[in-house]
Amino acid sequence: MATEPGSQFQQAPAQGLPPDAVLLVELPFTEAELVSLRPAVAAHADAAGMPADRVDALVFVAYELATNVVRHGGGVGGMQLWTAADAIYCRVSDQGPGIPAGIDGRAQPEPGSPASRGLWLVRTLADGMHIDAGAGDSRGSIVTATIGFRREGTFVQYPDD
Amino acid sequence: MSGTSVEDLKPGDHACLTFSDNDERLDIVAAFVRDGLRLGQKVLCLTESVSQTALSDELAARGVGIGSAARSGQLQVAASGQFFTPQGSFDPSATIVRWQAQIDQANRDGYGGLRVTGDMCWALRPVGGVADLMEYESRLTRMLAGQNATAACQFDRQCFDTVTLATAADNHSMNVTAVTYHDDALLRICRQHVPTGVRIAGEIDYRAIEPLTLALSEALSLDDHIDVNLTQLRFMDTTTAGVIVQTALGLTGRQRMTVRCTRISFDVLAALGMQEQARVTLTTARHGD
């Protein structure tokens, strides 16, 4: 299941991650593990020093990417959480048919339309999102979302706080 | 045992009111008080876990107009201990006598009856006489039947053991609980009485789409103003956020929806365009507010 403690320093960062990135945990999943991913991701992010509001965003993003794999990406996936320089990188891979061209979460879906809603939300809540084709053969996909310890971009004024 | 809705209580009823958390308790108590005030009844709230000031504030915050009723004496908020254990121990016979005195006084004062709700958590302490509590509840059931008075005794499901709760249920004339669409260790979806709407607490994802859709569509058919209370919701996934947005799109005419939620749910719903919908107000509340 999860990576042994101590082995984290031995693994070189995956492609596209900062060279000093450290692997926090590796979590294989199917539909049965979706719910337990949430507290697991929250616990590792909290232990890495991530503020609570950013942990909430990371849990949402991680769960959404894993759900995509279960529903559209062949049902079996792997999640890695990496950390470097006040950010956590959530990398979710699968061996499914791949994410169709044109679906990248860049366009806001019409209210009420379910199409590409998930990736749009991941892109909106994360500080960065990158989609790669799976390694090896042409099948599968790898999505990496970055959540900073501090929220980037425009300051949000919440009503009634 | 299945529950009755608080809105269906009638004179003569002696209800065992159980709840899962304080927000749910306050919602049911608010409905109990609101209905009593509307019916011109004298309303007595006996409280302990929630301070008397906090209870008055909560009733007002939920939209129950208590100002004039509190000033006139129609609504009284008092400590549970004052009523049940005025001398430090519990005396069932003396308590029954106090009940009859309250009923008679309400009638003399020209009220349309008496309504009393009491927080029973005082009975969790080693109070003298508490062993006779269930015998007292049974006597009160017989005593209230046929009188112009309604009682709702609040038993916290998180504090009382299951045997006590079952015995309490047997010794009242009915059980009052929230109208529940889904209830398990992670998620609770209930009808909210005051303000009217739906309350979703815990963690929700696509597996609960059926009870969520049912709860929201019933609210859509019943309420002019739907209050979607997500203040105790720790997690919401894309699918369920989509159902809430879809419900908002179904608002018609003068219908309005207010969604109160945590910051993360706010961000998710805002990203799906919820704030731009004309009939919707989206606000945040911190955990535990």
Domain ranges of chain B: 11-176, 180-284
Q: Is the model's pLDDT at B288 over the cut of 70?
A: no
| Whole-number pLDDT of residue B144 | 97
In A, which residues are within 8 Å of B242 by CB distance?
112, 114, 117
**Helical (H) or strand (E) element with A25:** strand A22-29
Ordered alpha helix ranges (H), chain B: 22-38, 52-61, 67-72, 80-84, 92-108, 133-144, 162-171, 209-222, 238-249, 263-271
- Mean pLDDT for chain B? 94
| Whole-number pLDDT of residue B65 | 87
Residues listed for chain B: 289
| Whole-number pLDDT of residue A112 | 75
More confident residue, A134 or B135: B135
The structure tokens 């002696």 sit at B14
Residue from B243, B267, B269, B284 whose CB has the most chain A CBs within 10 Å, to mutate:
B267
Q: How far is CA A121 from CA A107, B11, B160, B253, B282, in A?
A: 10, 52, 42, 30, 17
Give the pLDDT band (50/70/90) at residue B1: very low
Q: Is the model's pLDDT at B83 over the cut of 70?
A: yes
Tens digits of residue pLDDT in B156-213:
999 999 999 999 999 999 999 999 999 999 999 999 999 999 999 999 999 999 999 9
Q: Is the model's pLDDT at B145 over the cut of 70?
A: yes
CA-CA distance, B137 to B195, in Å (whole number)? 31
| Whole-number pLDDT of residue A159 | 80
**Residue B227 near residue B281, CB atoms below 8 Å:** no
Q: Is the model's pLDDT at B38 over the cut of 90?
A: yes
Shortest CA distance from B205: residue in chain A = A35
- CATH class of the domain at B180-284: alpha beta
A45 Cα to chain B: minimum distance (Å)? 16
* Averaged pLDDT, groups of 10, chain A, 161 residues long: 51 83 96 96 97 97 96 94 95 90 84 83 95 73 95 72 49
Tens digits of residue pLDDT in B216-275:
999 999 999 999 999 999 999 999 999 999 999 999 999 999 999 999 999 999 999 999
What average pLDDT does this structure show over B92-100? 96
Q: What percent of chain B has pLDDT over 90?
A: 94
Query: What is the fold of A20-107+116-148?
Result: Heat Shock Protein 90 (3.30.565)
- CATH class of the domain at B11-176: alpha beta
In A, which residues are within 8 Å of B61 by CB distance?
none
Structure tokens given for B168: 């309490």
In A, which residues are within 8 Å of B240 by CB distance?
none
